[in-house]
Structure 1
Amino acid sequence: MAFEGFPEVCSTGQIAAPDAFGYWEHLVTGALTEVAIAPTVPRPFAGRIRSADFGEVAIGTVAVEGHELRRHRRHIARAGEFHVIGSVVLGGSAQVEHAGHRVELTPGAMVFYDTTQPISWRSDGPIEDLTIRVPRQRVVDFLGVRAEALPAGRVIGGGEVGFTLARFFRRVADLHATDPAAAAVLAAAGIDLLGAAATIAAGREPGRAQAEAVTRQQVLDFVHAHFTDPGLSVERIATGCRVSRRTLYRLVDDLDGGLGALVRRLRVERARTLLAAGEVSSIAAVATASGFGTERQFYRVFRAATGMTPGEYRIVARDGGAAA
């Protein structure tokens, strides 16, 4: 359970046991909302957390040992602003009491919190989750509901919607380290995804724009998962995502160059990584591992994208001069 480069709390190393939970509370308050935290297991406490703030949307990724988290009325009374938080469990389990609901969270499950209300959360072992925090009024306006009708304490069971949101927002968080501007654009676009999940949790049918935002992300996830297959085609993508070709084209009509260009970009990036690492011995093997059907196609596409042949790129990368 490790996130390289995350702020870390460890009662056996960096921070002494008496101070570990105080520091962890400080980190969680900054990334999520003000809470009180206590251990639930006798093992030494350890946790890693990172967060990225994009204005209206803040994203946090956490991996932590078993603990109990509570948001009391005293926290609420001194809060300067309130949020709706969507949380997707990536690993482990937890029990939650919130807004009159008692639920068990398992991998893929997504729960919504309203920070104007108390929260009781407990895990009895290691857990990993991802949270998306949005201003409460923004969600009220987006859903067009009274504040009392927010889906607080309601869960979308473990399944594709939760994992789709988790994959998207984790990608945003990862991109923030290398390209904050691009990450901010993605985060803003992700409000439709979060709105769709909140609508489903509230027991309503998402609108067309919300439903298509989820389906579009599922299409992009499918492409990212299968681009190294030389046989990947529009027909296979449409079948795999259970949409018609016409719908598929409409969902991705804003992509620069369309689906074909996206697949080529992903394959070229994979090839650049493999060539720079030098772990794959032959150019032909790099072509195959990157999803190109033939070595000739690989040379043509790679040179058009980088201005170099794969062999030239490998030499420059080994000398430390290849463009990132």
Structure 2
Amino acid sequence: MTTTTGQVSFDPDPLAPGERFEAWHHAVSTAFVPLDASTEQPSQFHGSLTGLALGSLSVAGVGGDAVTVRRSRQAIAAGDPGVFKFALQVQGSSLTRQDGREAILSPGDLVIYDTRRPYDLVFDGAYRMFVVQIAVEHLGLSAEQARDVVAQRIPGSAGLGALTSSLLGSLDDQLQKGEMAPDPRAASAVLQLVQATLLSRFRPAADVPTRDVVYLEAVKHIDDRLGDPGLGVEAVARALHVSMRYLQGVFAQEGTTPSEWIRRRRLERCRLELGDPAHAHRSVSAVAARWGYPEASSFSRAFKNAYGVSPGAFRRQIVGG
């Protein structure tokens, strides 16, 4: 397992096949909490792990072949940092057992479990999970509420579950690509959204996503749809189920507007593609259309205003031709 500033990763490739399962087991127990693990064919097991300290939280993407992971009383005695794990099933399926309950997860579903008490995680095939570790004192639930919510499937298809699933899935993608920064504000937004999702199990009508959560989800929604010429403030607000005024207020706190953010991100994507030799065969107008500028003339004006040079001249400066 390698460690850089705030980040840990496990790469099984340099190891002999017979050593990989125990090395993965050690890496997981080190990154999370002491755990027991078993698999039917340890000599053929292949697993992965990437983790990052994210402000007051830590996050990790973990995956592998079929395996059973147990948090036994002996393992708790060996190390009990007092944390909850809030997990997103990214790929495959799993079974979580704790306190006499069972939660069966499919991709997109969520679950929380308490490392201070025994639990089992059963993966019957290849899988990947994104796990957020939250200190007990930061979770924001009473002891009774926490006991009531562990090992319960939280569907990722509707309501706050859908928003949480989407945000954590995006963070997992960034973690895999090495693009996640240890931004304390991101940690705050994740924690607030997790809290709201869990509290909605008790008070469904009382929870509204915070401004930080709305901002992060709006940024993700915009990036995913930059190529849509119809993308605008109204469309983003409608997708996030907030008012246009509220959305504009969220972006105003960041010193910008939703429209300006969309314009800037589109231009950044166009600039990156125009400067990439791999896309030299694509015309300037085709690049512009791909990122939401159907009219070449308006794109050319916007690009020159932003970068002081026309798109064609910029491409010639970078890639020649």
Which bin holds the TM-score, normalised by the shorter protein?
Answer: 0.7 to 0.9
Q: Secondary structure at the match of 1:229?
A: coil
Q: Secondary structure at the match of 1:188?
A: helix
Q: Secondary structure at the match of 2:103?
A: strand
Q: One-letter code of the match for 1:173?
A: L
Partner of 1:286: 287
Distance 1:62 1:133 in 2: 13
**Pair 1:306-2:303 in alignment:** no
TM-superposition CA deviations, 1:93-151 (whole Å, max 9, x none): 01111132111110111000111011211111111121111111111xx33x2366353
Whether the 8 Å CA contact 1:59–1:169 is kept in 2: the answer is no
Q: Which runs of 5+ in 2 are unaligned?
A: 1-7
Whether the 8 Å CA contact 1:302–1:309 is kept in 2: the answer is yes
Partner of 1:72: 72
Aligned with 2:10 (options 7, 10, 26):
7
Cα distance, 1:207 vs structure 2: 4.5
Distance 2:118 2:267 in 1: 49
Cα distance, 1:170 vs structure 2: 2.7
Within 5 A, what are the aligned runs for 1:138-177?
Answer: 138-139=138-139, 142-143=140-141, 145-146=142-143, 149-150=146-147, 151-159=149-157, 160-170=162-172, 173=175, 177=178
Q: Secondary structure at the match of 1:86?
A: strand
Within 5 A, what are the aligned runs for 1:104-143?
Answer: 104-139=104-139, 142-143=140-141
1:155 to 1:162, Cα distance in 2 relative to 1, 3 A: farther
Q: One-letter code of the match for 1:293?
A: P
Whether the 8 Å CA contact 1:192–1:209 is kept in 2: the answer is no
Within 5 A, what are the aligned runs for 1:69-108?
Answer: 69-108=69-108
Distance 1:212 1:180 in 2: 20
1:123 to 1:310, Cα distance in 2 relative to 1, 3 A: same
Q: Could you state the TM-score of these two structures normalised by the residue count of structure 2?
A: 0.83
Q: One-letter code of the match for 1:37?
A: A
1:315 to 1:184, Cα distance in 2 relative to 1, 3 A: farther
Mean CA deviation greater in 74-83 or 125-134? 74-83
TM-superposition CA deviations, 1:7-61 (whole Å, max 9, x none): 322xxx5323332221111221233222122114688211222111124111111
**Pair 1:192-2:195 in alignment:** no
Cα distance, 1:212 vs structure 2: 6.0
Q: Secondary structure at the match of 2:222?
A: helix
Whether the 8 Å CA contact 1:49–1:63 is kept in 2: the answer is yes
Partner of 2:4: none
Distance 2:297 2:176 in 1: 33
Q: Could you state the TM-score of these two structures normalised by the residue count of structure 1?
A: 0.83
Distance 1:29 1:101 in 2: 24
TM-superposition CA deviations, 1:203-246 (whole Å, max 9, x none): 33374454666555443333222121112122222333343323
TM-superposition CA deviations, 1:160-194 (whole Å, max 9, x none): 2342232343366368x45735x343223322112
Number of equivalenced pairs: 306
Mean CA deviation greater in 148-157 or 205-214? 205-214
Whether the 8 Å CA contact 1:48–1:64 is kept in 2: the answer is yes
Distance 1:206 1:85 in 2: 25
Q: Secondary structure at the match of 2:112?
A: strand
Whether the 8 Å CA contact 1:276–1:314 is kept in 2: the answer is yes
Distance 1:309 1:26 in 2: 55
Partner of 1:243: 242
Distance 2:64 2:296 in 1: 45
- Identity among equivalent pairs (%): 23
Cα distance, 1:283 vs structure 2: 0.9
Q: Secondary structure at the match of 1:302?
A: helix
Q: Which runs of 5+ in 1 are unaligned?
A: 320-324
Whether the 8 Å CA contact 2:18–2:42 is kept in 1: the answer is no
Mean CA deviation greater in 208-217 or 286-295? 208-217
Q: One-letter code of the match for 2:276?
A: A
